[in-house]
């Protein structure tokens, strides 16, 4: 079974500081994709960043970067220079690479609070 675990139900960070959100997953697949989605209060989930498992280089998107450790099945999200607008639920998600769009398997989410 494919599972995604986010061990931090809640995190907080001071504005302009850096925070890391943890995610681990379990799969027997060798090719897959990992995602971080952000869900602001009462808003839709927005894709923040994605990582292809076959790529060794960690993905980055502006202030967002990941630390992908394939052997450890770990996929953490680092947010640098945190801004008030970063406050949201963050979901880690996994999907196998089976040649078409496939279902996402989500973690329970981490609620990030940004303190001014």
Partner 1 sequence: EPEVTQTPSHQVTQMGQEVILRCVPISNHLYFYWYRQILGQKVEFLVSFYNNEISEKSEIFDDQFSVERPDGSNFTLKIRSTKLEDSAMYFCASSEDFKGGSGQQPQHFGDGTRLSIL
- Contacts to partner 1 by CB under 8 A: 33, 35, 37, 42-47, 50, 52, 91, 95, 97, 99-109
Calculate ∠ Cα 18-104-47, nearest 5°.
40
> Closest by alpha carbon to 23, among 13, 11, 12?
11
> Closest by alpha carbon to 85, among 112, 45, 54?
112
Instruction: Provide the 3-class DSSP secondary structure of residue 38.
Output: strand
Q: How far is Cα 12 from Cα 26, in angstroms, rounded to an integer?
A: 26
Residue 66 or 107 with smaller CB distance to partner 1: 107
To the nearest whole angstrom, how small is the minimum distance from the Cβ of residue 60 to partner 1?
A: 16
Residue 76 or 95 with smaller CB distance to partner 1: 95
Residue 52 or 74 with smaller CB distance to partner 1: 52
To the nearest whole angstrom, how small is the minimum distance from the Cβ of residue 96 to partner 1?
A: 9
To the nearest whole angstrom, how small is the minimum distance from the Cβ of residue 74 to partner 1?
A: 19
Residue 65 or 97 with smaller CB distance to partner 1: 97
Strand partners, 105: 94
């Amino acid at each position: 079974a494919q599972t995604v675990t986010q061990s931090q139900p809640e995190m907080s960070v001071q504005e302009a500081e850096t925070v890391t959100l943890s995610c681990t997953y379990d799969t027997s697949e060798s090719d897959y994709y990992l995602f971080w989605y952000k869900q602001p209060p009462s808003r839709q989930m927005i894709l923040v960043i994605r990582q292809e498992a076959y790529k060794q280089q960690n993905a980055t998107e502006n202030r967002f970067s990941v630390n992908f450790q394939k052997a450890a099945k770990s996929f953490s999200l680092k947010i640098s220079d945190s801004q008030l607008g970063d406050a949201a639920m963050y979901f880690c998600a996994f999907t196998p690479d089976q040649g078409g769009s496939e279902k996402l398997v989500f973690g329970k989410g981490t609620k990030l609070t940004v303190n001014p």
